[in-house]
Amino acid sequence: MFADIKGLNEECGVFGIWGHPDAAKITYYGLHSLQHRGQEGAGIVVTDGQRLKGIRGEGLVNDVFNEKKLESLPGKSAIGHVRYGGAGKGGLENVQPLLFHSQSGSLALAQNGNLINANDLKHQLEMQGSIFQTTSDTEVLAHLIKRSGYLTFKDKMKNALSLVKGAYALILLTETELMIALDPNGLRPLSIGKIGDSYCVSSETCAFDLIGAEFVRDVEPGELIIINDEGLHAERFTLSSSNAMCTMEYVYFSRPDSDIEGINVHTARKNLGKVLAREAQIEGDVVTGVPDSSISAAIGFAETAGIPYEMGLIKNRYIGRTFIKPSQELRERGVKMKLSPVRKVVEGKRVIMVDDSIVRGTTCKRIVRMLKEAGAKEVHVCISSPPMKNPCFYGIDTSTHEELIASYHSEEEIREIIGADSLTFLSVEGMLEAIGRKGYGKNCGQCLACFTGEYPTEIYPDTLLPHEKELNSY
Amino acid sequence: MFADIKGLNEECGVFGIWGHPDAAKITYYGLHSLQHRGQEGAGIVVTDGQRLKGIRGEGLVNDVFNEKKLESLPGKSAIGHVRYGGAGKGGLENVQPLLFHSQSGSLALAQNGNLINANDLKHQLEMQGSIFQTTSDTEVLAHLIKRSGYLTFKDKMKNALSLVKGAYALILLTETELMIALDPNGLRPLSIGKIGDSYCVSSETCAFDLIGAEFVRDVEPGELIIINDEGLHAERFTLSSSNAMCTMEYVYFSRPDSDIEGINVHTARKNLGKVLAREAQIEGDVVTGVPDSSISAAIGFAETAGIPYEMGLIKNRYIGRTFIKPSQELRERGVKMKLSPVRKVVEGKRVIMVDDSIVRGTTCKRIVRMLKEAGAKEVHVCISSPPMKNPCFYGIDTSTHEELIASYHSEEEIREIIGADSLTFLSVEGMLEAIGRKGYGKNCGQCLACFTGEYPTEIYPDTLLPHEKELNSY
Amino acid sequence: MFADIKGLNEECGVFGIWGHPDAAKITYYGLHSLQHRGQEGAGIVVTDGQRLKGIRGEGLVNDVFNEKKLESLPGKSAIGHVRYGGAGKGGLENVQPLLFHSQSGSLALAQNGNLINANDLKHQLEMQGSIFQTTSDTEVLAHLIKRSGYLTFKDKMKNALSLVKGAYALILLTETELMIALDPNGLRPLSIGKIGDSYCVSSETCAFDLIGAEFVRDVEPGELIIINDEGLHAERFTLSSSNAMCTMEYVYFSRPDSDIEGINVHTARKNLGKVLAREAQIEGDVVTGVPDSSISAAIGFAETAGIPYEMGLIKNRYIGRTFIKPSQELRERGVKMKLSPVRKVVEGKRVIMVDDSIVRGTTCKRIVRMLKEAGAKEVHVCISSPPMKNPCFYGIDTSTHEELIASYHSEEEIREIIGADSLTFLSVEGMLEAIGRKGYGKNCGQCLACFTGEYPTEIYPDTLLPHEKELNSY
Amino acid sequence: MFADIKGLNEECGVFGIWGHPDAAKITYYGLHSLQHRGQEGAGIVVTDGQRLKGIRGEGLVNDVFNEKKLESLPGKSAIGHVRYGGAGKGGLENVQPLLFHSQSGSLALAQNGNLINANDLKHQLEMQGSIFQTTSDTEVLAHLIKRSGYLTFKDKMKNALSLVKGAYALILLTETELMIALDPNGLRPLSIGKIGDSYCVSSETCAFDLIGAEFVRDVEPGELIIINDEGLHAERFTLSSSNAMCTMEYVYFSRPDSDIEGINVHTARKNLGKVLAREAQIEGDVVTGVPDSSISAAIGFAETAGIPYEMGLIKNRYIGRTFIKPSQELRERGVKMKLSPVRKVVEGKRVIMVDDSIVRGTTCKRIVRMLKEAGAKEVHVCISSPPMKNPCFYGIDTSTHEELIASYHSEEEIREIIGADSLTFLSVEGMLEAIGRKGYGKNCGQCLACFTGEYPTEIYPDTLLPHEKELNSY
């Protein structure tokens, strides 16, 4: 749903649990609370200690699973995945967890993030006779593990992790272990919880609340955690690690009730709105947010600015994937879709419209026009993050500069394009302040690459090409 | 979705348009914006001037219609319906519009509301050899029209309307006319709009915004409006009419962006919250609303009370009808569903939880416990409507006293049952003030029956019995 | 499937049972064995003595029913129906049994055949205020019963039957009785069986074999049979009855393992082939039949002619309704569909191709060409029935003279059109001899209308018009 | 469908075409005519010269493909596959053609038959780090090709073929070539056809008739044929080849209108019946066949014996995979399923029932009882093949001795078990005579392993184990 409104999509959410009698069902609920991270596919793999068994499918968690299917997944341990994936990225076989069987044991993998040297590695592996079944970068890891000369599974795994670069929050299931790994820069969130005696792991803490688990701790960058019947064992697989959490997780991706590194996302967003109000110093009659992700920031803005918060925009809750789009002609006649303005609220008013980010600018432009047509006297757009100028290579789907309006337009030009009476972006410093970070630069604890261009890792030119991605769609 | 959380369901929404080249598609969009009024079934009947053709089905508007189906509905005029209907109320054949063919012409009907003497009339008609195909009270109207001895269709219609009692916002389509009728007490909302030269009619004005129509006027109680190629013609079908709009439309049912009798629903709800804050005089650290319907009231409450509004409860957007419910055991282990508390927001706080109404009390009790388990120090429940003590016979599905907690418990008892630290209901006077009504009693312009027991019509004992409703499910 | 190959379709099969613990399941099996009589829809209505409950749907019996659905149909008595219905004949609501509820009791009807004065009666009923929900002629019967002034149900029923004309094998279920009626000319087959103590009724006796019932007797023309917990009671509802069984039931419609009026259908067909061989006196190298309906006749022909029977044509078993038809271009390239010739069998041979009838001639023409392209030296077409020159008004879907090639072409012209080296039709006398009838004319016991034009009833001009049929498809 | 009645299932059919504008559609029709060889899955892979694209699915060809899907498969060359596969053999991922992509080109494989050393080879490949995605023996070939050290694709292919043992009719598609290989014993049928200028290949010649292709020649044992834009090039990949066509292809598997090694299958079956009649010398009143596969033999038997052929058993055409099976209780009450006896045909008669083979004996027993219950005075079972005593390792699903009644019972014991008045099997010599083979033993041109135990290849103990097969069902 977020994906529909923004041109900004993350690639996934992962959840796993070890040693719980309702492993498949708990994983189902866990994936549910991560549904906002991916609506294109979902899968669960369980183990009963003897074998691995999985079900996966395209669509929402509820499209893929039902009572009967969950009951056909016996076992006390499970991992699951929800997936975002554009058209060109193949179908069912790319839905995770990926599951590999062999005579020496089975292996399931689920990953959030993006391996930036996957293509290089894949090329080398194919030269040696490996056959790939998916276009997923995650499959590279499976081949690296299988081909590794090390003796123990853990050493094979560490060997493989030492070869891949990029952003990954990875969970891996065998008949006897649940393994968890986070990339050395900690670009993606990943947290450990506990429900009774069972450890679980999730991309976001909101899953713990839903299933009644308590939060234990976040996974550290460069950490490899092994959970089995003897408990949890953690170690490092790399010496050099830093902390560079994706800032957009706070601004846009994560659910308001999740905590990332101890900070509640709703609270962080409200703070972003408060700092924004302080920086913007705009006069207006009403503050309104763009549902759903900008509501917290808008409320914070309204509180600090002392301007009433009103529901100036309504999101139609029932627009699903099958919704019939109005033709151009009908659109020109005024047929609206996901969002409707509330005329009585905005008519004759100076409206401060708070949104979390501008990617291509098209949605923002449409909303501003909508508000004006509904009678708003002025529309002041306030964005609770800085201009997004650089593509992300770590799993967020804004792959080219060309798509980012702020990478080739000044703020004044953007304001003109979207037709606003004023446009204010939050400053990078203000953003860091709002989420409680003090410093700036390499050690601020955040990845700011999309705003500042400072990437926390080396950059490879060859992430999987769209052309090739398409090839495998069987 | 509302239906899932509350035990309070309305029976329908209607939409119609005359003389528009995209009649079926416009009606589809119209029904979309009325989707919150009924998620159990949807239908559209069109006419091309020669014949009537319809498609209907169970589920959401999007489940029932797709591009191809809409294209198979040619014609410049259409009516549509979304329906709420409990289990015992039969299947497809009760989905409206009801469509009747005969050698002298066809007839389609769609209705929001409830005819309270339908059973009596049905019995008399069957004695005379009529065969009913549905258990819908609306079908009674069709038989009354067909059997009427009057010569013109309009007179047959007026004859039929003079025999039925209750609440009805009715639209009727023939090959040559769109007819609109509202019951003499105006219990249900119904508004006329215009898109270009085409008149349209809708249960709520939010449909007009979506399709780019402008609001013309509300339909008056006891009014019969005929729209055909010569324009709009209005007359009265009864001499005695009053104004008794269902108050719950403001409090709970309608969409925040709709206007009822000129009052915006979001604004009315925010006012309800403001008056409630003034009446309640509760101290607290944060105000939170129960999504989605109570957010406006909560924001109004926070503004007046000067206490910050926070997102203390999150609604899971992806819980659909196919969601697998947790077993009792899992629920006890803490698995939550539609709503999650935001621990960081409520922990250690005195939480003022604003909700719009209490029906059976079970949901409210669950939310209070949820907030307390998430660490809330105190939970103060403030309800933006008075205690609901009496059943509704006009189309809202709270048919017995037994289900209404306030009909047999004092406010203090309810507080204890739901486990709140305090419980405040809005007063009837406060409610009327908040929606801009001055007086009280018969002429206040609102139906207050569920709060005060003063029903605007006579009451019949025999609405359709559940037993019989079930019979017809073929 | 037959329907695909021929342009000749019958309208239905009926089955009923009273007083059996597995009533719904037995009816399901019964309908299965009648599936060849209608593949467009199927339905079952059961009664548990208190109420009637039904399930119906479009498609094959197996498309409509599954284990769970059958289990949801409790009760010891049931009736069922399989239906043939062309595009214009509306959808689900015309699928039988038709089920009508009223406060004085429920009523389900299933019929094979066609009421030729249905339109007249419907018109009169609508003038009196009745509302029809289907375009089925069967619904007229329900209204006539409901409107009848007689006191007992049986008398109402007889009153209604006295008003309708045409061909009908009718079964009717109430909470307390199963009623069976056959039209005064006995145009459609209908037989009584017994399984344990339970009476059952079926359009064809093959159903009895499948369910393990024994044949009791055929229903007589003009007979009304009532089965209830006290047993079977038979009486006449008309004084004037004759015996005019549809001859095409022997030639084409019925299953080879059914017996009609004591004659086995396979045996009758084999005899038709034998008499045809005797009449034709054709020389050839091989005899082949057109699968499936002409195999019996072809074998009889081969036996009498002393020419080997070979499988010269193969029917593709897996051509379903979803089969993708070859484009004209592909067809010209030679892509075949339902039937393939067996080259090695026909190559260089004088092939005697036995078919049961020629309706429009197009299929026959295609098969002759197919055989010739496969190398047949000569193709001699022998038809095991006389030329079909007149439309049927009794439920067989050949409604106009225009469609019947034999109604406006001589046998020699037909031969030329279909491209055969010779063409032989069975004589009317030969046909009657083969099925064991002695005389000819009114009292031969068969309806010969399609061959001779002598209709056993008066003819009404106004069977339901296609135009109107379409109207009701909601 | 065959699979339902017999306990005898073959594993597949393959079809391919090179250089035809309607490649996907032609392949669809081709698969249609091979549908009897496998109803569990179907797939098509096409190439447009640049890339390979495929669609596959579980179920019948018509379940998997529709117009739209075929149109989404562009290109002038294609291969397709229909598959039989029991429960334990995994789901979608085992449906062929298997399609493998890599940066150096793509590869699709479809195979009929069974590689008997697949498990050995798979084990070795996994030890070297290969990851298998299916449990199909065919995937082993892909890995062998990819790992081969030879330079050209053809040499890689020959290298791979030299390592696998067993029965295989294999087709392989790359962007530039269609490759065809038949195992050195020629155990499975495979023929080349031509439609216009385009070569095609099919498991059976009946596909050529359907699509309008002409037969060119059979593929020779040990032959590797390469078809590309330059034409057809054939060579041998092995020096030692023999001719050992599966005899059951004539007796049971192939379609009557196919020719195998120049012999028409219907004709061969009729001959089997003729020789059987000569050998049996049974007296009887009627001859009847078990539909569908034994009809030809029964007709041949009747002709030679001079006893009339009758339709004593009817197959219910509409029993699909969703048919609801009668409970034991209902079965005891007499409810029949796929087959019904024709009482009037068999009553009081000495019935000679011709069937093609006896596998477990259960079906035969049931039919004999059915005929007796329908009144047959005597039932003489005549089988148009010798007793089947040994399992097949070449792709026919009778994997153990235990399942074969003839492997541990004498003919007299079998007769008693099935309850027949006499039982006659065709002799091996008679069978060879009937299909036109002169000699006996190694050089008779047929595989007789299931009858005589003389296997044409070495035997490996480790075909893929059922346990492991199940593992991979993701």
Say if domain D264-315+331-450 classifies as CATH 3.40.50.2020: yes
Q: What percent of chain B has pLDDT over 90?
A: 69
**How far apart (Å, rounded) are the C-alpha atoms in residues D472 and D468?**
7
Q: Which residues of A touch B320 (CB under 8 A)?
A: 60, 62
- The pLDDT-based confidence of C333 (bands split at 50, 70, 90) is low
**How far apart (Å, rounded) are the C-alpha atoms in residues B394 and B185?**
11
C237: left (phi over 0), alpha (psi -120 to 50) or beta: alpha
Q: List the helix and strand counts (H, then E) for chain D.
A: 18, 23
Average pLDDT, chain B: 88
ipTM: 0.85
- The pLDDT-based confidence of A466 (bands split at 50, 70, 90) is very low
pLDDT at B352 over 60: yes
Half-sphere exposure (Cβ direction) of A446: Cα atoms closer than 13 Å: 26
Helix (H, G, I), strand (E, B) or coil at C432: helix
| D401: contact with A, CB 8 A cutoff | no
List, for residues C122-150, the tens digit of each pLDDT value.
999 998 889 998 888 899 999 999 999 89
Catalytic residue among B12, B200, B206, B364: B12
DSSP secondary structure code for residue D216 in this structure: E
Ordered by start, the domain boundaries in chain C are: 2-242, 260-316+325-452
pLDDT at B18: 98
**How far apart (Å, rounded) are the C-alpha atoms in residues A311 and B266?**
7
**Partner residue facing D322 (CB), from C66, C266, C326:** C66
Are the beta carbons of B170 and B79 closer than 8 angstroms? Answer: no
- The pLDDT-based confidence of B217 (bands split at 50, 70, 90) is very high
Chains C and A touch (3+ CB pairs under 8 A): no
Non-local (6+) Cβ contacts of B145 within 8 A are B107, B153, B156, B157, B159, B160
Task: State whether D344 and C33 contact (CB < 8 Å).
Answer: no
DSSP string covering C366-401? HHHHHHHHTT-SEEEEEESS----S---SSBS---G
The H or E element containing residue B327 is none
Chains D and B touch (3+ CB pairs under 8 A): no
CA–CA min distance C68, chain D (Å): 10
- The candidate with the shortest Cα–Cα distance to A87, out of A255, A321, A401, is A321
List, for residues D289-341, the tens digit of each pLDDT value.
998 889 999 999 999 999 999 999 988 777 665 667 777 777 766 667 778 89
Are the beta carbons of A367 and A291 closer than 8 angstroms? Answer: no
pLDDT at D10: 58
- The pLDDT-based confidence of C336 (bands split at 50, 70, 90) is confident
pLDDT at D31 over 60: yes
Count of Cβ atoms closer than 10 Å to residue C88 Cβ: 16
State the average pLDDT over residues A310-320: 81
State the average pLDDT over residues D432-460: 84
Size of interface A-D (CB pairs under 8 A): 68
| Burial track A330-340 (b if 16+ CB lie within 10 A, e otherwise) | beebbbbbbbb
**How far apart (Å, rounded) are the C-alpha atoms in residues A92 and A113?**
19
**How far apart (Å, rounded) are the C-alpha atoms in residues D83 and D14?**
9
**How far apart (Å, rounded) are the C-alpha atoms in residues D326 and C28?**
10
**How far apart (Å, rounded) are the C-alpha atoms in residues A84 and C180?**
61
Helix (H, G, I), strand (E, B) or coil at D86: coil
Task: State whether D122 and A103 contact (CB < 8 Å).
Answer: yes
Burial class (CB in 10 A: 0-12, 13-18, 19+), A470: middle
pLDDT at D469 over 70: no
List, for residues A399-434, the tens digit of each pLDDT value.
567 788 999 999 999 999 999 999 999 999 999 999
**How far apart (Å, rounded) are the C-alpha atoms in residues A117 and D363?**
60
Q: Which residues of C touch B472 (CB under 8 A)?
A: 101
pLDDT at B331: 72
| D244: contact with C, CB 8 A cutoff | no
**Partner residue facing A471 (CB), from D51, D123, D129:** D51
List, for residues B141-164, the tens digit of each pLDDT value.
999 999 998 989 999 999 999 999
**Test mutation, D25, D214, D264, D311, chain C, max C CBs within 10 A:** D311
Question: Which pairing describes strands B77-83 and B12-18: parallel, antiparallel, or unpaired?
Answer: antiparallel
- The pLDDT-based confidence of A333 (bands split at 50, 70, 90) is low
Q: What is the CA radius of gyration of chain D?
A: 23
**How far apart (Å, rounded) are the C-alpha atoms in residues B26 and B77?**
10
Lowest mean pLDDT among A119-128, C138-147, D424-433, D454-463: D454-463
Burial class (CB in 10 A: 0-12, 13-18, 19+), A50: exposed
What sign does the CA torsion over B145, B150, B153, B155 have? Answer: negative
pLDDT at C5 over 70: no
Q: Which residues of B touch A348 (CB under 8 A)?
A: none
The residue behind tokens 């026919």 is D396
Q: Compare D10 and C438 and report the one with higher pLDDT.
A: C438
| B69: contact with C, CB 8 A cutoff | no
| CATH top class, domain A260-452 | alpha beta
The encoded tokens of residue C117 equal 């004065």
Task: State whether B126 and C102 contact (CB < 8 Å).
Answer: yes
pLDDT at B185 over 50: yes
Task: State whether D320 and C211 contact (CB < 8 Å).
Answer: no
The encoded tokens of residue C171 equal 């079964």
The encoded tokens of residue B418 equal 């739901």
Task: State whether A264 and B345 contact (CB < 8 Å).
Answer: yes
| B102: contact with C, CB 8 A cutoff | yes
Beta bridge partners of D34: none
Lowest mean pLDDT among A93-97, B369-373, D265-269: A93-97
DSSP string covering D368-427? HHHHHHTT-SEEEEEESS----S---SSBS---GGG-GGGTS-HHHHHHHHT-SEEEEPP
Tell me whether the omega of the peptide bond preceding residue B137 falls within 30 degrees of 0, making it cis. no
List, for residues B293-345, the tens digit of each pLDDT value.
899 999 999 999 999 999 999 887 776 656 677 777 777 666 677 788 999 99
**How far apart (Å, rounded) are the C-alpha atoms in residues A426 and A205?**
27
| D132: contact with A, CB 8 A cutoff | yes
pLDDT at B103: 82
DSSP string covering A102-148? -TT--EEEEEEEEETTHHHHHHHHHHTT--B----THHHHHHHHHH-
Q: What percent of chain A has pLDDT over 70?
A: 89
Q: Phi and psi for B2 in degrees, rounded to 5?
A: -50, -45
**Test mutation, B96, B101, B141, B465, chain C, max C CBs within 10 A:** B101
β strands within D28-75, DSSP E: 41-47, 52-58
Residue type, D94: N
- The candidate with the shortest Cα–Cα distance to C311, out of D268, D246, D245, D1, is D268
β strands within C149-257, DSSP E: 166-173, 178-182, 191-195, 198-202, 214-218, 223-228, 231-236, 245-246
**How far apart (Å, rounded) are the C-alpha atoms in residues B213 and B201?**
10
Non-local (6+) Cβ contacts of C221 within 8 A are C182, C183, C184, C185, C186, C241, C242, C243, C244
- The pLDDT-based confidence of D8 (bands split at 50, 70, 90) is low
pLDDT at B84: 81
The residue behind tokens 């609920």 is A29
- Architecture in CATH for domain A2-242: 4-Layer Sandwich (3.60)
Helix (H, G, I), strand (E, B) or coil at C471: helix
Non-local (6+) Cβ contacts of A458 within 8 A are A165
Q: Which residues of D touch A462 (CB under 8 A)?
A: none
State the average pLDDT over residues D52-70: 92
| B474: contact with C, CB 8 A cutoff | yes
Q: Which residues of D touch C340 (CB under 8 A)?
A: 33, 206, 209-210, 257
Rounded (10°) angle between helices B118-127 and B138-147: 40
List, for residues B418-458, the tens digit of each pLDDT value.
999 999 999 999 999 999 887 666 678 899 999 999 999 88
Find the residue in C nearest to D259 (Cα): C344
| B318: contact with C, CB 8 A cutoff | no
State the average pLDDT over residues C411-440: 93
Answer yes or no: same fold for B2-242 and B260-315+336-452.
Answer: no
CA–CA min distance D346, chain A (Å): 47
The encoded tokens of residue D441 equal 């033993």
Residue type, B299: I
pLDDT at A473: 43
Q: Which fold has domain C260-316+325-452?
A: Rossmann fold (3.40.50)
The encoded tokens of residue B466 equal 């559940």
Task: State whether A330 and B22 contact (CB < 8 Å).
Answer: yes
CA–CA min distance D174, chain C (Å): 26
Find the residue in D nearest to C338 (Cα): D210
Tell me whether the omega of the peptide bond preceding residue B97 falls within 30 degrees of 0, making it cis. yes
- The candidate with the shortest Cα–Cα distance to B430, out of B378, B384, B371, B376, is B384
pLDDT at C356 over 80: yes
Q: Which residues of B touch A324 (CB under 8 A)?
A: 25, 28, 62, 65-67, 70
Task: State whether C299 and D319 contact (CB < 8 Å).
Answer: no
Are the beta carbons of B341 and B366 closer than 8 angstroms? Answer: no
pLDDT at A465 over 90: no
Q: Which residues of A touch B60 (CB under 8 A)?
A: 318, 320
List, for residues D77-100, the tens digit of each pLDDT value.
999 999 986 433 557 778 999 999
Which ranges in C257-391 belong to alpha helices (H)?
Answer: 265-280, 295-305, 328-332, 343-346, 362-373
Q: What percent of chain A has pLDDT over 90?
A: 69
Count of Cβ atoms closer than 10 Å to residue A91 Cβ: 15
pLDDT at B464 over 50: no
- The candidate with the shortest Cα–Cα distance to D43, out of D14, D86, D5, D76, is D14
Interface of D with A in 134-163 (CB under 8 A): 142-143, 146-147
| A3: contact with B, CB 8 A cutoff | no
Find the residue in A nearest to B308 (Cα): A303
Q: B450: annotated binding-site residue?
A: yes
Chains that touch D (3 or more CB pairs under 8 A): A, C
pLDDT at B88 over 50: no
Say if domain B260-315+336-452 classifies as CATH 3.40.50.2020: yes
pLDDT at B210 over 50: yes
State the average pLDDT over residues A83-103: 77
Q: How far is CA D110 from each of CA B36, B63, C3, D12, rounded to the nearest angstrom?
A: 52, 39, 36, 9
Q: Compare A34 and A239 and report the one with higher pLDDT.
A: A34
Could you tell me the maximum CA-CA distance found in chain B, to the nearest angstrom? 73
Count of Cβ atoms closer than 10 Å to residue B366 Cβ: 18
Task: State whether B102 and C131 contact (CB < 8 Å).
Answer: yes
Q: Which residues of D touch C259 (CB under 8 A)?
A: 343-344
Is residue B444 annotated as a catalytic residue, yes or no?
Answer: no
CA–CA min distance D456, chain C (Å): 30
Non-local (6+) Cβ contacts of A327 within 8 A are none
The encoded tokens of residue C32 equal 């299965």
